[in-house]
Amino acid sequence: MREYRTGSDVKNRWGSVRKVRFESQLMWLIKYAVENDGNIFSENDIQSIIEKDRANREAIRLKITQTGWRRALRHFGAQISYKSLVKDTIAFAKGVGIFTISKGRVSCPLRIKELYSHQKFSQKEYESGIISLLLNSKYRAYSLFLRRLQDTNGHFYIPLAFKNRSRISGLPEFLKSNGFLTDVASFYTIRDLLYDLGLINWRISSENCCEHIFLTCQIVPSVSVASDNYEDRINLDDGLTLLYNKKLNTLEFEEVLSRNYLSLSRQQWGVIVDLLELREKVTEEICISDKQFNKIILQTMVGKTITAELSQGTISFKPSSGLLIKALNCPVIGDGIYATYIRVYKKTNMEELKDAN
């Protein structure tokens, strides 16, 4: 199969993107567009959406980590900072085609109404439609980010020296020299949204604080699509196809999970360990998204060679770990219950034979 290459040969800058960085924000905007089609447009409605989304995320964050409460309270009261995001959010919604404003009224395109209807029957189709909406929008930086990351063999490392992300640190020049042709703020906005959609993942090393961003999908020419290694596909512009959600062999996944679990439990089965730390190790090794890991780990609670017990509990905040962002994406094991710990047990030979039959 011909390998698709781009990124290093892109001569023009990608441009910046708007400050919308979570899938939940797109869902709120789509819901708003459908429910307010034909109504008078108000910026206050968009500000309300931003505030609700942020408040919900902070509530989940506090429930999972039991930390960072002072920071959360500051955000709850920061009405001015939310207001400053309104125009950016409106521009984003228009730019990806969620709604337009005609004569002061909201106009929702038919394709957005059709997309919204999918959530009643298939959350998977709804989410794939959102990905297609974003990657085929006028904001080319999202798809170019994925394509450039693919050019680097799917892995990009940002050293500790650029931790503060400032111009003085040299990060803008570092990104540019590596073919990521956008500003620093847009780079991390893109990273967060593509992570939330399950198309990339990232980890900050506990050893050297180096940030590792890695691809969890693949972009190929549509004429040569062979999706044997992926569950899902989306047609992109320019004759390309996005493949995502890797097909994983159950036994291979359980082997990787078990090996990394034992490295955290000091080679003992049935010991409780930090699920987020285990997830970081497993997803980095096999290059899958946190979203896909969450789905698989729920299925692995009664696996072929192991069984797993998930539980909720307070986790300690680790500075510079990315925890405050990634902890929001935990497996849900009940109504408002997020798994943060795991015990893994090795099945006996008799149990394995019983499951096989």
In this prediction, residue 226 carries a pLDDT of 65
Please indicate, yes or no, whether residues 194 and 266 belong to a single structural domain of this protein: no
- CA 226, distance to chain mean position in Å, is 24
- Interacting residues of 259 by C-beta distance below 8 A, sequence separation 6+: none
Q: Rounded mean pLDDT of 271-291? A: 96
CA–CA distance, 208 with 206 (Å, rounded to integer): 6
Is the pLDDT higher at 137 or at 3? 137
Q: What is the CATH classification number for the domain harbouring 107?
A: 1.10.10
Task: For 284-309, give one letter per residue: b (16+ CB within 10 A) or e.
Answer: bebebbbbbbbebbeebbebebbbbe
Asked whether residue 177 is domain-assigned, the answer is yes
pLDDT at 84: 78
pTM: 0.89
For residue 3, what pLDDT is reported?
Answer: 43
Domain contains 10: no
- Domain assignment present for 134: no
Among 58, 90, 124, the domain boundary falls at 124
Domain with 50 in it: 23-124
144-196 tens-digit pLDDT:
999 999 999 999 999 988 888 777 789 999 999 999 999 999 999 999 999 99
| Boundary residue ending a domain (124, 156, 174) | 124
Q: Note whether 271 and 327 are same-domain residues.
A: yes
Does the structure show a pLDDT above 50 at 105? yes
Q: Is 28 within a domain?
A: yes
Q: What is the 3-state secondary structure (H, E, C) of the chain?
A: CCCCCCCCCCCCCCCCCCCCCCHHHHHHHHHHHHHCCCCECCHHHHHHHHHHHHHHHHHHHHHHHCCCHHHHHHHHCCHHHHHCCHHHHHHHHHHCCCCEEECCEEECCHHHHHHHHHCCCCHHHHHHHHHHHHHCCCCCHHHHHHHHHHHCCCEEEECHHHCCCCCCCCHHHHHHHCCCCCCHHHHHHHHHHHHHCCCEEEEECCCCCCEEEEECEEEEEHHHCCCCCEEEEEEECCCEEEEEEECCCHHHHHHHHHHHHHHHCCCCCCCCEEHHHHHHHHHHHHCCCHHHHHHHHHHCCECCCEEEEEECCCCCCCCCCCHHHHCCCCCEEECCEECCEEEEEECCHHHHHHHHC
Look at the chain and report how many structural domains it folds into: 3
Asked whether residue 190 falls in the same domain as residue 164, the answer is: yes
| Same domain, residue pair 242 and 254 | no
**Is 292 a residue whose pLDDT tops 90?**
yes
Do both 107 and 36 map to the same domain? yes
Q: Which of 22-31, 98-107, 217-226, 334-343 has the lowest mean pLDDT?
A: 217-226
Residue 238: predicted pLDDT: 83
Q: Which of 38, 32, 64 is nearest to 330 (CA)?
A: 64
Whether residues 50 and 96 share a domain: the answer is yes
Amino acid 77: pLDDT: 43
Residue 355 is predicted with a pLDDT of 63
Q: Where a domain ends, among 246, 277, 311?
A: 246
Is 83 inside a domain boundary?
Answer: yes
The model's confidence at residue 64, banded by pLDDT at 50, 70 and 90, is: confident
Q: Are residues 86 and 144 in the same domain?
A: no
pLDDT of residue 76: 42
Higher model confidence: residue 280 or residue 82?
280
Both 254 and 235 in one domain: the answer is no
Domain assignment present for 229: yes
Same domain as 321, residue 233: no
Does residue 348 form part of some domain?
yes
Which has the higher per-residue pLDDT, 354 or 271? 271
> Does 91 lie in the same domain as 48?
yes
Using pLDDT thresholds of 50, 70 and 90, give the confidence band for residue 31.
very high
State the pLDDT at residue 230: 93
6 pLDDT higher than 50? no
pLDDT band with cut points at 50, 70 and 90 for residue 227: low
**Residue 276 domain flag:** yes
- Residue 9: the pLDDT is 44
Read off φ and ψ for residue 286, nearest 5 degrees: -110, 5
Provide mean pLDDT across the span 38-60. 92
Question: What's the mean pLDDT when you consider all of the chain?
Answer: 87
Identify the CA nearest to 131 among candidates 27, 222, 211.
Answer: 27
